[in-house]
Amino acid sequence: MSVAAYADNIASRVNAMTLRERALVFAAVLGIVAFLWDRALMQPLARRQVAAQSVLEALSQSAEGTRPDAMLALDAASQRLSEAVEREQLVRTRLKSVNAELGASAADMLPPERMVRVLRDVLAGQTGLELVSMRNLAPVPLVPPETTTAVVTGPYLHPVEIVVAGNYLSVLDYLHALERLEWRFYWRALELKVDKFPRNVVRIEIATLGTDAEWLGVGPVETVARGGAR
């Protein structure tokens, strides 16, 4: 039997039914369709929805569990950043204070370009002393760089080494004369050696502050040969 003939047969049977019989058949057909719809589509969708809800709940619980740790880590990082900023500000404040103090101190310091001349002039006013040698040493940074690649911007210590010979009292008078100078400087070394009594040989090393890495006006090194007695 063809599909068309089968459909005509069904239609003839339905037309032959009473209204009550047609309603019962229609209700039965609707029930079968609803059953098939639920089994074929709605139940799989419901199972998928339940599975998705379970996954979402698991993810939500996991997120709730890790949120306190994440917040703690964020708070710790923020605290470290704040402390680093405070330390940087403190260092900058101290650096300004140190620079101000250095500037005030450097104003009274013996200028590096005048050190050799001043030492010679003071020595010329002394008696009983012999100038053995005098030289200006290489300037060194007042604050050593933290790394070998760091840029040094000063200030610099400009040291001078002077060696004199004479009796003890003459050497003492020379040291006092240096201390009475109107300028300030740093004492770095004072070594006394008895050559032949009463003759003493004294090595003196003093330094002053400068902003340049070179001895401006006097060259990098200046040496004075042995002179006669004064």
- Tell me the longest C-alpha to C-alpha distance in the chain: 155
Q: How many domains does the chain have?
A: 2
Same domain for 102 and 8? Answer: yes
Q: Residue 141: exposed, middle, or buried by beta-carbon count in 10 A (0-12, 13-18, 19+)? A: middle
7 and 62 share a domain? yes
pLDDT number for residue 163: 95
Are 68 and 84 part of one and the same domain?
yes
Specify whether 27 is located in the same domain as 89: yes
Q: What pLDDT does residue 74 have?
A: 73
pLDDT tens for each residue of the chain, 230 residues long: 565 665 566 667 766 667 666 666 666 666 676 666 667 666 777 777 777 777 777 766 665 555 566 677 777 777 777 887 787 777 666 656 655 565 555 667 888 888 888 999 999 989 889 999 999 898 888 777 767 676 766 688 899 999 999 998 999 999 999 999 988 888 999 999 988 888 899 999 999 888 777 775 554 444 444 444 44
- 9 with 76, same domain: the answer is yes
In a domain, 221, yes or no: no
Residues 103 and 140 in one domain: no
> Is residue 219 one of the residues assigned to a domain?
no
- Is 45 in the same domain as 147? no
For position 70, what pLDDT does the model report? 61
Please check whether residues 49 and 149 belong to one and the same domain. no
- What's the pTM? 0.50
Q: Domain of 194: which CATH number?
A: 3.30.70.60
Provide the pLDDT for residue 222.
Answer: 46
Same domain, 78 and 14: yes
Separation CA 116–CA 221 (nearest Å):
11
Distance CA 170, CA 71 (A): 76
Same domain, yes or no: 173 and 123: yes
Same domain, 9 and 100: yes
Domain range for 85: 1-107
Q: With respect to residue 184, please indicate whether it lies within any of the assigned structural domains.
A: yes
Q: What is the pLDDT of residue 96?
A: 63
Q: List, in sequence order, every residue forming a beta bridge with 181; answer none if it has no partner.
A: none
Q: What is the C-alpha to C-alpha distance for residues 211 and 109, in angstroms, rounded to an integer? A: 12
